[in-house]
Chains A and B, each alone.
Chain A
């Protein structure tokens, strides 16, 4: 697809026609915060942190930049009062779940989000899906997936698969913004193959 010229934060930017707004911004050295985005994974659009303001033919709207395709003459603003407010509320909601996540705490400082705005519900997982998608798309092991729906939705390591695949990998731990992937895994380990860690430490 041919290149398009658009505007991001008042700067003229040339982008590949098949890029997303997030990709175009990054290529131009403009920072947009993200939580569920990963270069090696399909865009997921779960966290809404990358929300930006776009203007086409005089109409303004708010879109998630990790999914939104670039277009000719698109005008994008990555910061504005409304954008900041959206990010602030999202952060306040996520902080109710994972109050000490370093990534969230850092962003909260930047967006002046109040960590105590909502009642705490420390599920720790913010459902970004990085662990799930990395396991499925990059490692193709599908050892961890979402279960349930709505407020009960959570990630779950599948004991039958984790038993075979996870010992040698555990690469998802480093992706998780809250360390919950690791916590969930260790519970599964205790369930699916207890004793292996101890045995391997002793033989080492």
Chain B
């Protein structure tokens, strides 16, 4: 993401300390992670101590302080999906991407994570790629689905 775009997001909240979580969410959404220099920029613009920005940015799981791949894959390991074979599904996703939960591949194509109940039990087991739910997944379908995300 270009920095002009980031600047624009941050400038909209200048001088408003109460907007901290909003800014962090917008930047996270657009940029997929929160670089340290951007956190400094946010602290300065919103007039908040940098340490507090860091405290909030590390408190919520939504925020990432390390770079993420172009595509974010979540495999649900919640109880419903688990009963329907989430473990095998996760194995298949790990094989297809070559990474484990929490990791990003060397080519920045994928970041993999798990979640405990991603909110669609009735259509599980599921994986979510960039926010799109893929329902009733099977290990065999994984390759095909991930092919769409380069």
Q: Does B49 contact A (CB under 8 A)?
A: yes
Interface residues of A in 133-184 (CB under 8 A from B): 136, 142-149, 156, 158, 160-161
CB atoms of B58 and A142 under 8 A apart: no
Count, A-B residue pairs, CB within 8 A: 30
Check A158 against B54 for contact (C-beta < 8 Å).
Answer: yes
Instruction: Compute how far the CA of A197 lies from the CA of B58 in the bound complex, rounded to whole angstroms.
Output: 30
Candidates A142, A156, A160; contact of B52 at CB < 8 Å: A142
Residue B120, interface by CB 8 Å: no
Check if B49 sits within 8 Å of A148, measured CB to CB: no
Residue of B nearest to A158 (CB): B51
Query: When chains A and B are docked, how far (Å) is the Cα of A24 from the Cα of B123?
Result: 59
Query: A156 vs B51: C-alpha distance in the bound complex, in angstroms?
Result: 9
Kindly identify, within residues 35 to 79 of chain B, every residue whose CB is under 8 Å from any CB belonging to chain A: 40, 49-52, 54-55, 58-59
Q: Note all chain B residues with C-beta closer than 8 A to A160.
A: 40, 50
Q: DSSP class of A's interface residues: helix, strand, loop or mixed?
A: mixed
Residue of A nearest to B65 (CB): A147
> How many angstroms between the C-alpha atoms of A158 and B55 in the bound complex?
10
Interface size class of B (residues with CB under 8 A): under 10
Give A92 to B49 CA distance when docked, in angstroms. 35
Distance of A6 Cα from B55 Cα, bound (Å): 40
Q: Select the residue from B40, B50, B58 with max chain A CB neighbours within 10 A.
A: B58
Q: Please pick, from A136, A143, A147, the residue contacting B58 in the complex, using a CB distance under 8 A.
A: A147
B58 engages A161 (CB within 8 Å):
no
Q: Residues of A contacting B49 with CB < 8 Å?
A: 136, 142, 145, 161
Would you call A158 and B59 a contact (CB within 8 A)?
no
B96 nearest CB across to chain A (Å): 30
Please give, as numbers and ranges, the residues of chain A lying within 8 Å of B59 by CB-CB distance.
147-149
A140 to chain B, nearest CB (A): 9
Query: Which partner residue on chain B sits nearest A143 by CB separation?
Result: B51
Complex CA distance for A180 and B18, rounded to whole angstroms: 32
Give the shortest distance, in Å, between B150 (CB) and chain A (any CB): 34
Residues of A within 8 A of B54 (CB): 145, 147, 156, 158
Docked Cα-Cα span, A147 to B56, in Å, equals: 8
Complex formed: what's the CA distance from A115 to B94 in Å?
Answer: 44
Q: How far is the CB of A123 from chain B (nearest CB, A)?
A: 16
* Alpha-carbon separation in the docked complex, A142 to B52 (Å): 8
Assess the A158–B58 pair: CB atoms within 8 A: no
Please give me the residue from chain B that is nearest to A162 by CB atom.
B51
A132 to chain B: closest residue by CB: B51
Q: Which residues of B contact A149 (CB under 8 A)?
A: 58-59
How far, in whole Å, are A145 and B52 apart by their CA atoms in the complex? 7
A164 to chain B, nearest CB (A): 11
Q: Which residues of B contact A143 (CB under 8 A)?
A: 51
- Residue numbers of A with Cβ under 8 A of B are 136, 142-149, 156, 158, 160-161
Rank and list the top 5 A-B pairs by shortest CB-CB distance, nearest first: A142-B49, A145-B51, A147-B58, A142-B51, A158-B51
5 additional A-B residue pairs with CB within 8 Å, beyond A146-B55, A160-B50: A136-B49, A147-B55, A160-B40, A161-B49, A161-B50
